[in-house]
Amino acid sequence: MAKVGIIMGSKTDLPIMQEAAEMLESFGIAYELNIVSAHRTPDLMVEYAREARKRGINVIIAGAGGAAHLPGMTASLTAIPVIGVPIKSANSIDGWDSILSILQMPNGIPVATVALNGAKNAGILAAKIIGASNDQILAKIDDYMKDLREAVIKSAADLDENKNVLD
């Protein structure tokens, strides 16, 4: 059963949103992936948000570009945490329209917001939310963070080696 719902406003968002799916896969977290437009299929969006909990969804990742109403509208319809991914779309104002549409939510309707095109971080954040009550997932996140630290240490060591060659 899927634990995370990944939704996006259109098929053009899929290359970005796929990064969230890949992170969830790496942590062994089941997810569902769907296209739900706040503007073109508002009834479908309402149904998706209201029925998500019944389907076992614990976190929703919603990506949207332009006016980017999908994350906020979804959050207004469910108590499940929603992570918004602003996407720089073809008609975007350098992505700022999407960022501000998701970030500037009114009091009472929070949406966790990641960086522009930051679906990878949305996947990690969703995993951390689930990991807060699942020790197996939390251990995988700990391992992932350890790998990140080791990669930085290795990069620094490689830099030192190259620096000595240049001297």
Same domain flag for 146 and 125: no
Residue bearing the bigger pLDDT, 59 or 89: 59
Same domain flag for 109 and 159: no
Q: What does the pLDDT average to over 110-135? A: 97
Same domain flag for 87 and 15: yes
Burial class (CB in 10 A: 0-12, 13-18, 19+), 79: exposed
Same domain flag for 109 and 39: yes
d(CA 21, CA 11): 15
pLDDT digits (tens, 9 = 90+) for 16-58: 999 999 999 999 999 999 999 999 999 999 999 999 999 999 9
Assess whether pLDDT exceeds 60 at residue 59.
Answer: yes
Q: What does the pLDDT average to over 142-162? A: 91
d(CA 28, CA 113): 23
Assess whether pLDDT exceeds 80 at residue 167.
Answer: no
CATH of the domain at 123: 3.40.50.1970
% of the chain at pLDDT higher than 70: 97
**Binding residue per annotation — 50?**
no
Same domain flag for 54 and 89: yes
Same domain flag for 68 and 108: yes
Same domain flag for 25 and 80: yes
Q: Look up the domain containing 157 and give its range.
A: 142-167
Q: What is the pLDDT of residue 66?
A: 87
Same domain flag for 30 and 89: yes
Same domain flag for 90 and 128: yes
pLDDT digits (tens, 9 = 90+) for 119-128: 999 999 999 9
How many C-beta atoms lie closer than 10 Å to residue 156's C-beta? Answer: 10
Same domain flag for 153 and 128: no
Q: What is the pLDDT of residue 67?
A: 87
| Residue 165 confidence class, pLDDT cut points 50, 70, 90 | low
Whether 40 contacts 92, CB under 8 Å = no
**Binding residue per annotation — 10?**
yes
Q: Which residue, chain included where needed, has tokens 């990991």? A: 131
Whether 104 contacts 96, CB under 8 Å = no
Domain count, the chain: 2
Same domain flag for 150 and 102: no
pLDDT digits (tens, 9 = 90+) for 64-112: 998 899 999 999 999 999 999 999 988 888 899 999 999 999 999 999 9
pTM of the shown model: 0.93
Same domain flag for 92 and 123: yes
Whether 81 contacts 60, CB under 8 Å = yes
